[in-house]
Amino acid sequence: MASTPDLSALQRPSGAFAMLAIDQRESMRAMFADTQAGPVSDRQLVDFKLEALRHLTPHASAVLIDRPFGWQPALEAGAVAPGCGLIAAADEFHASADEIVADAGLDDLVVPEAVKAQGAQALKLLVVWRPDGNPEKRIALVDEFVARCRRAGLISLIEPVSRKPLDGRPHDLHDGILAAARELGNRGQDIYKAEVPLHAAGEEAEVRRRCAELTDAIASPWVVLSSGVAPDRFPTAVEWACREGARGFLAGRAVWKETIGAPDMAEALRTTAVDRLKRLCETVDRAVG
């Protein structure tokens, strides 16, 4: 069995993780659809991802890229800056009538050994957690993913996300963040990616208390994602989480979402998005380093 690579491939010199996510698929298409009248083409998604990679990866410690619209185009274009770690999304998403990502599984077209040969240092798996879901199935999925990563000598990164129950029972999505961590946070993964408790919309003391609970529940280093958090609030959310044990972030929306639909998206990425990412890097260096 191959040994697990050193996590420093994804870290800043401070030891903090300042990782960019550009692996959104149909959710990114929906973001574009909100800003234009006509249909959103696959080419638009690919072009935006390439532009974002060129401007942002010089400042990120690692970047997460999807197979359908990002991985191969990024490699062929040389769009990722030298020194920025490569994370391949190993998940495939399944939609429902009211959820863009209603479930997720392993994408068998992402072959760990093949993407490693192309330069990947890590793989990421999103896991949909529901209170009425099957915990044995979720655990088996994570265990299989971690095993695949270990066999290939790749860092394993899991991303459990809390979603509503399908049977209509009352449920607090934010309670699900901790429940997911308690169920899946000790499955041998190398990094755990968590939603920010209360989406950082609550009082500082309560958000930080919940972050501390995540630290207690998760056996590996953990980082926060930005979905659900207002972009201007995300640096504060990252700082609170890191003060309670998180090691950084793996985020996309808080960095680049506001550039979608801008009159000059390339310029918005070069200025607004880069500035946001630089601020986040400074935040994690201060809070973790």
The alpha carbon of 149 is separated from its chain's Cα centroid by a whole number of angstroms, namely 17
**Furthest CA-CA distance within the chain:** 52
Q: How far apart are CA 198 and CA 97, in angstroms?
A: 26
**Among candidates 274, 226, 275, 277, which has minimal Cα distance to 253?**
226
The pair of structure tokens assigned to 215 is: 């630290």
The phi, psi pair for 131, rounded to 5°, reads: -65, -25
Q: Is 193 a catalytic residue?
A: yes
Q: How far apart are CA 174 and CA 210, in angstroms?
A: 9
Q: How far apart are CA 106 and CA 123, in angstroms?
A: 11
Which entry of 124, 193, 257, 278 is annotated as an active-site residue?
193
The residues assigned a catalytic role are 193
